[in-house]
Amino acid sequence: MKVLITGSSGLVGNSIKKSDKKSDIEFIYWSSKDCNLLNYEEVYNKLIELQPDIIVNLAANVGGLFKNLNKNVEMFEDNIQMNMNILRLSKKIGVKMVISCLSTCIFPDKTEYPIKEEYLNNGIPHYSNNGYAYAKRFIDIYTGLMNVENSETLFVNLSPTNIYGENDNYNLNDAHVIPALIHRGYLSSGGEFEIKGSGKALRMFIYSDDLAKIILEFINFYAEDKLNKMKDLINITRENQLNYNFIVADKDEITIKYIAEIIAEQFNINKLTFNTNYPDGQYRKPVDNTRLKELFKLYNKNLEFVDFKEKLIETCNYFKNNYNNIRK
């Protein structure tokens, strides 16, 4: 079996690269240098040549709050185009399964909590990431339609919470919350570290190696029974639309303060302050991972997550030790 991983030079792609894998599966890794997914002709020619059985579609134009605010149009255009090319061509050449990544940050800004898969299109996303969110929601709509019409290719979507880990993007303008705090903590080493907001907001995180393991399990589930057990589990959420979407999350909610304190300790910060002149955003955004847990149960697998503090410390150490080579 051939499995193509797009976005392989990114945070999650690198975690898949270093995971233990079955020897009877051939993994092929694409970054933008191997294939520019914005270019339909190039994707078409390379996919025809490769003929993968499964595609794990991780490639995306992705970033934190400031990138989303400043580049909403670019993020909409790029993500729509990349995903349209991959998804459309997967169907055309008869790929057996495509796993795409959505995100819990694309769910409605005003919603019920904990967030469940079926709430995705019940309201508008937060204004700051409209472009990214609607482009990702398009994957949900498009794959849902294709799952009904096309029996040859199975489209599965994973919706992880915030991801963190070694090969993250630590650019101070573009980064997500944990890599941004690690980089700012590092630059404040031995001095004062100011956090914007009270630090009381709660968020959910997943370590990129945990997400990689879950993705590899989906590949194993496919090998076992073509994911037939999964099909029985999913409710049809909108008439005539089969959305095989799974929220991927650990159970714990973590305060920004807790994260900042761990980071401060790693960089010998003298004084940690919280500037309450800045807003905290939504106090909590809990999500419900019941569907994923049930799926793992069907395949007699445990859904296990690493210890957050331990992996955050490891990530800080990785950042320190690789400062000259990391993405920043």
**Angstrom distances, CA of residue 164 to CA of 59, 117, 246:** 16, 22, 19
Pick from 129, 147, 169, 315: which binds ligand NDP (CB under 6 A)? 169
Smallest gap, in angstroms, from Cβ of residue 306 to ligand NDP? 16
Helix (H, G, I), strand (E, B) or coil at 283: coil
151: amino acid identity, one letter: S
Pick from 52, 61, 253, 305: which binds ligand NDP (CB under 6 A)? 61
Query: What's the full length of the chain, in residues?
Result: 328
Binding mask 95-124 for ligand NDP (x = CB under 6 A): ------x-x---------------------
54-57/97-101 β-pairing: parallel
DSSP for 2-49 reads EEEEESTTSHHHHHHHHS---TTSEEEEE-TTT--TT-HHHHHHHHHH
Is 40 one of the catalytic residues?
no
For the record, the structure tokens of 62 come out as 């992705």
Pick from 3, 5, 11, 262: which binds ligand NDP (CB under 6 A)? 11
- 101 or 269: whose CB is closer to ligand NDP? 101
On whether the CB atoms of residues 264 and 272 are closer than 8 A, the answer is: yes
Binding mask 120-159 for ligand NDP (x = CB under 6 A): ----------------------------------------
Number of residues that bind ligand NDP (CB under 6 A): 27
Half-sphere exposure for 108 (CA within 13 Å, toward CB): 15
Residue in the shown chain whose Cβ atom is closest to ligand NDP: 10
Closest CA to 57 of 78, 27, 87: 87
Query: Counting contacts by CB under 6 A, is residue 60 touching ligand NDP?
Result: yes
Is 291 exposed, middle or buried (CB count within 10 Å of its CB: 0-12, 13-18, 19+)? Answer: buried
Query: Counting contacts by CB under 6 A, is residue 68 touching ligand NDP?
Result: no
- Give bridge partners of residue 274 from the DSSP assignment: 195
Residue tagged active-site, from 44, 119, 132, 278: 132
- 33 or 110: whose CB is closer to ligand NDP? 33
Pick from 7, 52, 125, 199: which binds ligand NDP (CB under 6 A)? 7
Q: Which stretch binds ligand NDP (CB under 6 A): 34-42, 181-189, 283-291, 315-323?
A: 34-42
Q: Which stretch binds ligand NDP (CB under 6 A): 57-65, 110-118, 231-239, 314-322?
A: 57-65
Query: Counting contacts by CB under 6 A, is residue 13 touching ligand NDP?
Result: yes
Query: Counting contacts by CB under 6 A, is residue 33 touching ligand NDP?
Result: yes
Smallest gap, in angstroms, from Cβ of residue 56 to ligand NDP? 10
Pick from 89, 120, 135, 163: which binds ligand NDP (CB under 6 A)? 163
202-203/2-6 β-pairing: unpaired
On whether the CB atoms of residues 204 and 253 are closer than 8 A, the answer is: yes
Query: Counting contacts by CB under 6 A, is residue 36 touching ligand NDP?
Result: yes
Angle between helices 208-225 and 11-18 (to 10 degrees): 60
Smallest gap, in angstroms, from Cβ of residue 84 to ligand NDP? 12
Instruction: Count CB neighbours of 13 within 10 A.
Output: 21
| CA 185, chain centre distance (Å) | 24
Query: Counting contacts by CB under 6 A, is residue 62 touching ligand NDP?
Result: yes
Residues that bind ligand NDP (CB under 6 A): 6-13, 31-33, 36-38, 58-62, 82, 101, 103, 160, 162-163, 169, 176
The catalytic site residues sit at 132
